[in-house]
């Protein structure tokens, strides 16, 4: 792998990240082909490891540090693939409050192997948290982990996540199609003092087939507890939330409120009605407009960023940006990708950013925002925005390689100045100079981002 960027990052790289740094803290920027683990090992408490979009074949350890490991483009474009490793993709042990892992898709994890009377037991296909970890996990997707454990003689516990004598919190996470032979197709909270909190999470289509009880969704054992709030737990094989069989179920407590749980679950505000996801086949677990999970969250909790009562699950109905259209492969052989950070609203945090990765460096780009979708030929590519079209400021694309990143802030004032009303569906797309193409077609384009402007 190539060398990590130096400890003190140039200001242009801090700008590209789109994330304000804490005073006195250091940001480590990791690009595809570089090692996330090297950055973690170099980081000190309070620092951040910022991972650019791409697929990383790496199994990492957080080393018990109070750091943030975040993707800059989000889980849709940043993947940790554990297929090459017979262990968990991420291991946490002893991290204090303030440690954060955010914005990744974790797939093909196997779990940490522990010798047993049957061979090896694997704990936490994608993530293994132990040793008193207090990690917060935000905006992550756990997809198809635990399936390669090998059956009875190589058992998996906690197909996506294992929490052993720790207290971890998952916020706006999707856990789908994970497998455990024993207890917790999605997750397992195990051991005295263990608590897994699911806050606005979607736990669906996970599997456990053990004859002691198929806890296909959220599992517990040996005094391990779980807390579920404003979440969706649906379509998991067997029991949705349950403890392992006697005697391993002793001391386990599950508390759920204001959640949609298949077959029902006692607790304030809980419902048991089809959530009506948009397209599970394509991992689109956002909510249809007629979903009973819309505005069904805790009425005393903070409102959704669109100003309405909280929706259930990882993806609020009103705020589900999506990628559309087709990007043009540029002259450097890179496929540009559009992304976003923050929330597109006229209130709350003024943090909405539209990003682009894999664009030609040392040239200029511009963001187009349109009121309608389009598919118009454009310098050999496709212009995907139409209707009334607004143009953002010209952005210089820096960087040392052939393909880099850029970012445009769309502030509250930007929308207000253009008279764009709340509830408007918009499309955004980057175009940039690509002199490697023949004259007349020297413009590159990303794919497009569809989003709804909240009030």
Over range 197-225, report the average pLDDT. 90
Q: Which two tokens stand for residue 209?
A: 């087939």
Its pTM stands at 0.71
Over range 24-31, report the average pLDDT. 90
Edge-to-edge strand ranges of the sheet holding 403-409: 337-341, 353-360, 403-409
- Give how far the C-alpha of residue 306 lies from the chain's centroid of Cα atoms, to the nearest Å: 20
| Of 263, 287, 311, the domain-final residue | 287
Rg (C-alpha) for the chain, rounded Å, is 22
Residues 359 and 439 in one domain: yes
Domain extent for 5: 1-70
Q: What is the average pLDDT score of the chain?
A: 87
Residues 183 and 271 in one domain: yes
Best CA proximity match to 179, nearest among 211, 215, 212, 213 = 215
Residues 222 and 344 in one domain: no
Q: Which two tokens stand for residue 99?
A: 């440690």
* Domain contains 136: yes
Please tell me the predicted confidence (pLDDT) of residue 373.
Answer: 86
* Domain contains 157: yes
* Domain contains 80: no
Over range 162-184, report the average pLDDT. 94
* Domain contains 199: yes
* Domain contains 20: yes
Residues 352 and 428 in one domain: yes
Residues 154 and 202 in one domain: yes
Task: Please return the burial class of 301, using the count of CB atoms within 10 Å of its CB with bins 0-12, 13-18 and 19+.
Answer: middle
Q: Tell me which of 396 and 198 has the higher pLDDT.
A: 198
Please tell me the predicted confidence (pLDDT) of residue 260.
Answer: 98
Instruction: Give the residue carrying structure tokens 């190539």.
Output: 2
* Rounded Cα–Cα distance for residues 183 and 157 (Å): 6
Residues 167 and 279 in one domain: yes
Best CA proximity match to 66, nearest among 1, 135, 167, 115 = 135
Residues 95 and 180 in one domain: yes
* Domain contains 300: no
| SS (HEC) of 130-143 | ECCCCCEEECCEEE
Please tell me the predicted confidence (pLDDT) of residue 348.
Answer: 65
Using 50, 70 and 90 to split pLDDT, how confident is the model at 19?
very low
Over range 169-194, report the average pLDDT. 94
Least confident of 38-42, 169-173, 215-219, 261-265: 215-219
| Of 70, 99, 119, the domain-final residue | 70
| SS (HEC) of the chain | CCCCCCCCCCHHHHHHHCCCCCCCCCEEEECCCCCHHHHHHHCCCCCEEEECCEEECCCEECCCCCCEEEECCCCCCEEEECCCCCCCCEEEECCCCCCEEECCEEECCCCEEEEECCEEEEECCCEEEECCCCCEEECCEEECCCCCCCECCEEEECCCEEEECCEEEEECCEEECCEECCCCCCEEEECCCCEEEEECCEEECCEECCCCCCECCEEEECCCEEEEECCEEECCCECCEEECCCCCCCCCCEEEECCEECCCCCCCCCECCCCCEEEHHHCEEEECCCCCCCCCCCCCCCCCCCCCCCCCCCCCCCCCCEEECCCCCCCCCCCCEEEEECCCECCCCCCCEEEEEEEECCEEEEEEEEEEEEEEEECCEEEEEEEEEEECCCEEECCCCCEEEEEEECCHHHHHHCCCCCCCEEEEEEEEECCCCCCCCCEEEEEEEEEECEC
CATH code (residue 425)? 2.60.40
* Rounded Cα–Cα distance for residues 368 and 345 (Å): 18
Residues 63 and 90 in one domain: no
Is residue 287 within 8 A of residue 296, CB to CB? The reply is: no
Q: How many domains does one find in the chain?
A: 3
Residues 141 and 173 in one domain: yes
Over range 22-31, report the average pLDDT. 83
Over range 241-258, report the average pLDDT. 92
Least confident of 98-107, 152-161, 286-295: 152-161
Residues 416 and 332 in one domain: yes
Cβ atoms within 10 Å of 373's Cβ, excluding its own: 16
169-173, 317-321, 400-404, 435-439: range with highest mean pLDDT: 169-173
| Of 272, 287, 302, the domain-final residue | 287
Using 50, 70 and 90 to split pLDDT, how confident is the model at 421?
confident
Is residue 429 within 8 A of residue 446, CB to CB? The reply is: yes
**Residue 140, CB half-sphere, CA atoms under 13 Å: how many?**
28
Four-CA torsion 299, 412, 363, 385, nearest 10 degrees:
80
* Domain contains 78: no
Residues 414 and 331 in one domain: yes
* Domain contains 304: no
Please tell me the predicted confidence (pLDDT) of residue 1.
Answer: 32
Residues 421 and 445 in one domain: yes
């Amino acid at each position: 792998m190539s060398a990590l960027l130096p400890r003190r990052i140039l200001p242009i790289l801090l700008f590209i990240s789109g994330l304000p740094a804490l005073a006195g803290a250091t940001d480590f920027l990791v690009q595809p082909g570089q090692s996330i683990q090297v950055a973690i090992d170099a980081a000190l408490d309070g620092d951040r490891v910022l991972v650019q979009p791409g697929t990383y074949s790496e199994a990492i350890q957080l080393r018990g540090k109070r750091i943030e490991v975040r993707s800059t483009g989000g889980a849709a474009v940043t993947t940790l693939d554990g297929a090459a490793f017979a262990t968990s993709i991420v291991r946490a042990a002893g991290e204090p409050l303030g440690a954060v892992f955010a914005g990744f898709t974790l797939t093909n994890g196997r779990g940490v192997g522990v010798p047993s009377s049957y061979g090896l037991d694997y704990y936490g296909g994608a993530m293994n948290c132990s040793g008193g970890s207090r990690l917060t996990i935000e905006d992550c997707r756990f997809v198809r982990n635990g399936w390669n454990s090998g059956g009875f003689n190589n058992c998996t516990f906690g197909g996506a996540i294992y929490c052993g004598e720790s207290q971890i919190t998952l916020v706006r996470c999707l856990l789908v199609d994970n497998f455990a032979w024993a207890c917790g197709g999605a997750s397992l909270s195990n051991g005295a003092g263990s608590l897994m909190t699911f806050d606005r999470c979607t736990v669906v289509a996970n599997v456990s087939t053990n004859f002691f009880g198929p806890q296909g969704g959220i599992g517990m054992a040996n005094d391990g507890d779980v807390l579920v709030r404003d979440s969706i737990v649906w379509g998991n094989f067997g029991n949705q939330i349950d403890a392992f069989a006697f005697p391993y179920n002793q001391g386990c407590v599950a508390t759920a409120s204001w959640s949609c749980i298949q077959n029902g679950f006692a607790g304030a505000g809980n419902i048991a009605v089809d959530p009506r996801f948009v397209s599970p086949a394509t991992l689109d677990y956002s909510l249809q407009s007629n979903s009973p999970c819309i505005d069904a969250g805790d009425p005393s909790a903070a409102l959704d960023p669109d100003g309405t009562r909280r929706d259930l699950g990882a993806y609020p109905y009103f705020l589900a940006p999506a990628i559309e259209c087709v990007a043009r492969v540029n002259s450097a052989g890179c496929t540009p990708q559009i992304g976003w950070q923050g929330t597109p609203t006229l209130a709350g945090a003024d943090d909405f950013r539209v990003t682009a990765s894999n664009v030609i460096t040392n040239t200029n780009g511009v963001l187009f925002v349109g009121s309608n979708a389009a598919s118009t030929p454009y310098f050999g590519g496709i212009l995907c925005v139409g209707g009334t079209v607004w143009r953002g400021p010209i952005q210089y694309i820096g960087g040392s390689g052939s393909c880099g990143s850029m970012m445009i802030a769309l502030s509250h004032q930007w929308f207000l100045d253009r008279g764009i009303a709340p509830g408007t569906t918009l499309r955004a797309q980057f175009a940039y100079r690509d002199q490697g193409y023949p004259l007349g077609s020297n413009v590159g384009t990303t794919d497009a981002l569809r989003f709804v402007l909240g009030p």
